[in-house]
Structure 1
Amino acid sequence: MPTLLKSVLAAVGLDALQTATWDIHLIFLQRAVRLFAYGASTLILALMFSALGFSDTQIGIFMTLTLLGDVLISLVLTLVADKVGRRRILVAGALLMMASGVVFALSGSFVVLLIAAIVGVISPSGNEIGPFRSVEESIQAQLTPAHLRAEIFAISGLVGSLATALGQISIGWFTRHMQDTAGWSEIATYRATFWLYSVCAAVKLLLTLMMSEVCEVEAPIAEYMPVGTDDDIPLSAKDSPMIEEPPTQITPVEQPGILSKAASLFPSLSKESKNTVVKLALLLGLDSGASGLIPMSLMVYYFSQKFHLPTNTLGIIFFTTSIVASISQLLSASVAKRFGLIRTMFFTHFPSSLMLALIPVPNVYFASTVLVIRFCTGSMDVAPRTALISQLVLNDERTSVMGILNTVRTLTQAIGPWISGGLSERGNLWISFVVAAGLKSVYDFGMLAMFINVGPRDEDVTS
């Protein structure tokens, strides 16, 4: 590879692709397919519910209960992923995603759709939901040297943002085109979107089945040691004369019960990791609670209701924000190399937090511009934050820790849509933007204060 090209790739963090394994590339493809489906469904989710006759409060309640259902599904699946098998968990998640898409394509009942969203995988925010992200990030951390993790996570974020953007603009164009030229009703175009959602889930399932065994957690050496061989005998015992010992009474070993077997599937964390998880959970809870007040589907709904914009225009606006976010995520790895993970997180995310408070200004051009500016740096903390978390815990704890933290984020995010739905029905959705800006600012200063001097802990950080 020419030296100039190498330098360019290194400057933007893409040089890590040269060392990425086949399984990491498969994860990139899965993320692209999944986030395309999320972007497509998010653009029309609230609009579909409005077309079905649901009130703004019902829309908010739906999103809240959907996120709460995801908490339970994600927590259980990610905690047992390393014992049951990471690939099996990804397969289960893809099947749930496929099933929920089919139900949304066929049903118009609020209760049926709610049950499908709670049990299945539907993203109200356009962001990651379900067990996928935690398991995939754990695999990426395991298969990537520590000094390249920020780049790999940044590339993963880039792939996701580009796919989300493509999903948003293509569905925005598709729904408008089919309504204007083919005479389809709004509901028909929205149902077609969820058929596409299920097809994406099926493609993700096939990609998951192509992953290799190296994606599974590294088993302790003791698990590979045969029992009852000479290797179990200390060298001092081999060399010493045979000493006859009185026979000992053998007591039967009590077999573990069902509850004990179930409990053994869940991992235990070291004391240091527990302290880290508590701090991160508190801070990430603030950030996600703020995000829950203004999920992307409600942002789309706000622009639609406030400025009476058609779906193709909405698709262009949010396509632009996702493209900007993808470029910024790619640059975050190179910025983190120069300034460190924590400083990069703070100086990119804090200005974006403040921008939220300006979005409700009643001018479509100003609001759209501020929205795009917010996304310029709003996602630049994602890759450094994931790299930081992966370095603060041990390898066999990563899947569980990331699952716990993603569960906390989803749980704190869940109540927001309910609140914002009620505010929207009263014409006061602007309050959600202002409160979200304040909460995110507190998160930014909290991360800076708690982790600015914390060093990496994982065993291969110098590799």
Structure 2
Amino acid sequence: MDPAGAAAVAVRGPVGGHPDHQPGIGAGSDHDWPAGARQAGGETGRSHAARDLGARRRDPAGGRPLRRGGHAAARVPAAQDRGDREEGRRGAPQAGARGRRTSRSTLSPFRSFYAQLRGFSPAARRFLAFSLVGGVGFTIFNLVFNLYMSALGFSNDLIGVFNALPAAAIIFIGLPVGALADRMGYRRFIVASSVLSLLGASVLALTSVRPVAVVAAGTYALGFITLGVLGSPVLAQLSRPDERVPLYAASNALTWVASVVGFLVGGYAPELAGRLGAGSPTSLVSLRAAFVAMALLQAVSLGLLIQLARGSNLRPGEVVPVRQLLQVDRRRFARFLIPQALLGLGAGMLLNFVQLYLSQRFHLHTGPIGLILAGSAPLTAIVVLRAPAISRRLGLTRTIALSQLLTAPLVLAIAFAGSLPLAIGLLYVRQLVINTQTPLSQVFAMEYVEPRERARLASAENVVFSIGFGGIGPLLSGFLQVRGGFELAFGVAAVFYVLAGATFLALFSRVRLPSESS
């Protein structure tokens, strides 16, 4: 599983999760404005309007300023679509001063990345450090869990059921957590979720009793997925509007840095344990060595999170009355969640079984599998860092949709790959292509709705994505694998990638967000 597909998760990243908020808009505000539009209208939007006023003429009917050629200009740099209001003619997206300096720099990608990190707010940097450490632990879990369940004697279809259990739980707690976090703030929720993950990781490291191991794995995953629900809104609240796109890109890039370490530690900890007398690297005792490392990392990340919670403003920007917690812009929520559901199905059918695909088709064990999965992470980090520049050329919507559409033929080719080098190459290219859209999709979600609805959208997104990624997707994939092999299961996954990209493009091709105008 790659981190971008995990908590969304964001694969959404280690804390997605996606993975993926700012002080909100008051009640009675314009519900067509996305998250951040009010703030942009008060700062960036007003400065743009003042600067461009002399270059525009007035619309006699509506009094709105027109660009040359008669196209209505937006009042503020907000998400617009023609179904709700007229869209101004799309000009070349203007990058901010920091974006222009970065794009023109001759520094290497990683030196440029370091320079970007120094420009983020201290609270944002602390959150990135927490995400990095937690992401290493979550990558270990992603690598070892299915192999551990297989070593315990469970079949592939039953392993698919286990993968679905956290998703089933998040259906019931995701939306309430997001709604309450919008009202009460994020501090207590993210700390409690991290404690839950530490408890599950510790039990996994100590026992191989089958029922206990299954419950412990579910506890760890549930805590981490809950963190994924709040990851994007927390990052949005800790960031300035002008740094949000590069910050989300940096967060996802660090996810891939974490994945390199996690895949190597998770892959070679069982190898080392086996050499020290625990038996085969695929034995239960050897595999538990990876969970020991995961528990230690989770303890470190909890300490970092407590420091972040003490020193950062994670209070709600607006106290939402209880009766209004479920009062959201349902139309916008539904439009965004439909393609997310399709993407979750495709990702869940593929990513939950990559380890077993490499193990069962090519007879590999944890060490080589971890090395293979770690190999593409540095390249993926570079691609993620370049995502803002790509989106400035193509636009957020087109970049997201094309990334999903181009993934489909790669997934289909993976299904029928008969040689290990070909399969590795296809897995790498697929990972690079699909993760171009990961930080952009998170920014899209946070700017498409009002600030006071961000945690609820993040919750709904994680619930919907998890139904596919951790619920129906692995269930369907495991069912198809025992009847038609990986060819049938991954072939159906490719269809869902096509549907996700086509649906997103159809729904949002005319939408423009504040980050595309600033």
Please indicate the TM-score interval, normalised by the length of the shorter structure.
0.7 to 0.9
Partner of 1:238: none
Is 1:316 the equivalent of 2:416? no
Change (3 A) 1:406 1:266: farther
Partner of 2:317: 218
Partner of 2:66: none
How many percent of aligned residue pairs carry the same amino acid?
22
Is 1:173 the equivalent of 2:268? yes
Is 1:161 the equivalent of 2:256? yes
Partner of 2:90: none
Alpha carbons 2:481, 2:489 under 8 Å: kept: no
Q: Structure 2 residue aligned with 1:285, among 327, 341, 348?
A: 341
Counterpart secondary structure, 2:296: helix
Matched to 1:383, the amino acid is: P
Partner of 2:180: 80
Distance 1:320 1:434 in 2: 25
Correspondence list, 1:231-242, <5 A: none
Partner of 1:89: 189
Q: Structure 1 residue aligned with 2:502, among 425, 441, 445?
A: 445
Alpha carbons 2:411, 2:494 under 8 Å: kept: yes
Distance 2:161 2:153 in 1: 14
Correspondence list, 1:359-370, <5 A: 359-360=414-415, 361-370=417-426
- Give 1:279 deviation, angstroms: 1.0
Partner of 1:25: 125
Is 1:202 the equivalent of 2:299? yes
Distance 1:82 1:441 in 2: 34
Distance 1:418 1:16 in 2: 41
Change (3 A) 1:81 1:184: farther
Matched to 1:415, the amino acid is: I
1:278-336: CA deviation from partner (whole Å, max 9, x where unpaired): 0111110000011111224x111111011111221111110123333222111111111
Alpha carbons 1:138, 1:399 under 8 Å: kept: yes
Distance 2:178 2:101 in 1: 42
Change (3 A) 1:75 1:165: farther
Partner of 1:327: 382
Is 1:355 the equivalent of 2:450? no
Distance 1:132 1:309 in 2: 32
1:252-282: CA deviation from partner (whole Å, max 9, x where unpaired): xxxxxxxxxxx81872444xx3211101111
Distance 1:264 1:406 in 2: 22
Counterpart secondary structure, 2:460: helix
Distance 1:139 1:42 in 2: 24
Change (3 A) 1:76 1:268: closer
- Give 1:405 deviation, angstroms: 1.0
Q: Structure 1 residue aligned with 2:513, among 446, 451, 456?
A: 456
- Give 1:116 deviation, angstroms: 3.0
Please report the RMSD computed on the Cα atoms of aligned residues, expressed in angstroms: 2.7
Matched to 1:218, the amino acid is: G
Partner of 2:5: none
Instruction: Flag structure 1 segments of 5+ consecutive residues without an equivalent.
Output: 224-262
Distance 2:488 2:290 in 1: 31
Partner of 1:343: 398
Counterpart secondary structure, 1:359: helix
Alpha carbons 1:101, 1:198 under 8 Å: kept: yes
Matched to 1:407, the amino acid is: V
Alpha carbons 1:31, 1:160 under 8 Å: kept: yes
Matched to 1:143, the amino acid is: L
- Give 1:176 deviation, angstroms: 1.7
Alpha carbons 1:80, 1:265 under 8 Å: kept: no
Change (3 A) 1:219 1:379: same
Partner of 1:259: none
Partner of 1:105: 205
Partner of 2:241: 146
- Scaled by the length of structure 1, what TM-score is found? 0.82
1:77-101: CA deviation from partner (whole Å, max 9, x where unpaired): 2221132330111101101101111
Change (3 A) 1:9 1:435: farther
Further displaced range: 100-109 or 362-371:
100-109
Counterpart secondary structure, 2:318: coil
Alpha carbons 2:348, 2:473 under 8 Å: kept: yes
Distance 1:199 1:161 in 2: 20
Change (3 A) 1:74 1:47: same
Partner of 1:235: none
Matched to 2:313, the amino acid is: V
- Give 1:178 deviation, angstroms: 2.5
- Scaled by the length of structure 2, what TM-score is found? 0.73
Count of residues in correspondence between the two structures? 411
Change (3 A) 1:166 1:142: same
Is 1:304 the equivalent of 2:359? yes
Is 1:433 the equivalent of 2:493? no
* Larger CA Rg, structure 1 vs 2: 1
